[in-house]
Structure 1
Amino acid sequence: MDRLQHWLDQATDTAVGWLSSPAALMQFGLLIAAYILARLLARRFSPIVEKTLTPKPDSVHILARLSRFALQFLPLLLPLLAYALTALGEGLTRATFGSGEVIAFGKRVFLFLAAVELVRKVLPPGFLKLMGRYVLLPVMALHALGFLDDATTRLDAAQVNLGNIQFTALSLIRGLIAGSLLFWLGSWSNRQSAGYLKAQPDLRPATRELAIKASEVAIFGAAFLLLMSIMGIDLTAVAVLGGALGVGIGLGLQQIAANFVSGIILLLEGQTTVGDYVELDGGEKGTIVKMTARACVLETFDGRWIVVPNEHFITTRVVNYSDQGSANRYEALFSVSYETDINLVPDIIEGAVSKLPFVLQAPDGPDCELRGFGESSVDFAVEYWVAGIDDGKNKYGSPVLFAIWNALKEAGIEMPYPHRVVELRNAPAI
């Protein structure tokens, strides 16, 4: 309270001194004139700047995006013009009267007003607006009142010790602010780079995923090192921490490290990538929809997601139905009775299956094969190629079986069912 009273008394004495000084009154007049002139200039040039920078609605090139970005800062034109004119007036005042405290205070106020407009009208809702409201505005207010240097001096004098690491309260606050901004910027840069890489059609999916992960590691690694430098932390301590982390990985995080390295190998080889339909030895099968540093996510035909560690793709046998192309061969089993002329069956079935729109003629057309002589039927199978993966033998298998049934019915060929002969011994005579 005593310090606050001292500051209030000092502010009162300064205000009284300004009001009683002709030089100070002259500076107040220059401030008012600078604001009025800045307002007139802003009113005059704002429509011109807006018309010049506004691109066509359908423009998407880099200059159009830069113009739209620059237009967001148009509300800052008035306070920045007032700041610039006040800076010119400050030089004139100091040359004439040898002092310029009042006009310097006004210049800082105009800069604070620019920060207010930036937070209110320019920064988007979310993290940046939150940082502007609770960090930028208080700092600019202290700067406008002339208390910023005193506050930074006191914070810089306060020491904080964490083991062998020493830093000041000012560096801690600066690190929190800079860390928040750096990692927000890193997250934004990572999203932008990932979007750009995903939009490149010339890159293989595996190369694309590897480039995305490499850019993510590089961005956040650079942000971490820059943050350490801003906070003034000696990087040798980080090296010691890295060595301890390496020991921890070797002792307790072997599986995580193995999965991470396996993920890198998968991306480098490119034999398994997003969009492939795979089947593992453990029975997991589905389409790869996502590859992370630790695991691959498989989506089954019924919409379920299976998370499979990357190590399983390296150490076990993996059947990839999509790696060599989209064509896959399937077969449909059927039987006919022993009264059938089986020499006619292949032509009938192959012709019926060939008419289905999804059946391919290359690398081979439908092939009907005799598989064996059963207890009650002659067993056949027709093999066919399709462009894609069968949905649990329902996507293509069901239409093929319908085609076989209709073709056999149309040809008058019977599909048998089991027959049994029952012999009754010692049965009474009828």
Structure 2
Amino acid sequence: MEIGTIEPVGHDVLRPDNVPADRVFDFDIYRDVPEGSTLHHSWRALMDQVAYPVMWTPHNGGHWVVLRGDISDVVMSDSERFSNHTVLVPKETAGEAYRLIPLSLDPPAHQPFRKLLNDNLGPKPLKPVESKIVELTVSLIEGFRPNGQCDFMHEFAEKLPVQIFMQIVDLPIEDLPKLKHLADQFTRPDGSLTYPEVAHLFRDYLMPVIAERRGGSGEDMISRMVNGQVGGRELTDVEAQNICMQVLVGGLDTVVNLLSFTLSWLAQDHDLRRALVADPALIDDALMEFLRRFPVVSSSREVRKDIEFEGVHLKSGDMVMAPTIVVTLDEDNNADPLDFRLGRKARKHSTFGRGSHTCPGAHLARMEMKIVLREWLARIPEFRLADGAELRFTNGIVGSVKPFMLEWDV
């Protein structure tokens, strides 16, 4: 089954009175992408099927889904009508369990907390990290290059950005498997833990870390945040836990998936790969196109008050999903959006979000991806998907490529 269809659907919840019958469709954000399709092709097919740009699904507690780019941007950026108070579905479980800071705050309350993140994730504080990214990238590549193959996800994508992140926050590398598992349950739950259990385990891990670093002089990101101030006061323990949880989830998942989409594409597009090898000056433009082509996040907003919106009546408390994917795939934004084109004259995407909640880690993500493209292509210029490898994709709050093998001649 595709990630969504307009076929009749069995209901997780009854259709509310404000939902017209012809706006109901069978969509589940946590449903795997079917074999033979890709994450982004499945979304594009869904956009082509629906009769309206705003639909409603009974799955995951029942929520609206935006399927047109300009409307998705409005929902993401208009905090007067669409609140960040709850950003995940199902609202009653995931949404209530995860109150991340500043993600779950609206302007102006979020601004002092956002400044804490910006002060730690901007170009200036991250400048010393650049050499560490280069060093680790080269070390990982050289570790498997003589083998003529690698499991890209497990041997590279899950190691580089998360190990760099663990250095930035100064957490022991041996804790990484546990933290990565929790981050994955946040974005693509497999049912092994409930949402409250994931939040509880995150907080159990963070409480002693925060207590130890309170009042200290550490220069790591967690120390600087928990000893920072918002509105002239110190953070409460709960605020410190929630802002640190947001940093952990963001730092342990998103770039992993951007890298996997990027390298799996290069493994199949030989002309593009060879063009970048022949002229590394094209890498900057290629990076911008990879970011446009492969958005992965589908977050939601909570309707603040009853409103009329795009031909439907939204009630206070309704959840509206605004996938970043539909911004990229909307042909009014990008001609032939599924094509990868160097030199696109106009690229419109919301891969890092929109409005006041644009991803604070965007600079780090761009820096890591640019370094990977440069160093990988310099060391392994010719590579391909391993014989028999078939790419599989997972949907979710953050979409992903399942592990795959790359190979090259040695």
TM bucket, shorter chain = under 0.3
TM-score of the superposition, structure 1-length normalised? 0.21
Q: Which has the higher contact order (CA 8 A, sep 6+)?
A: 2
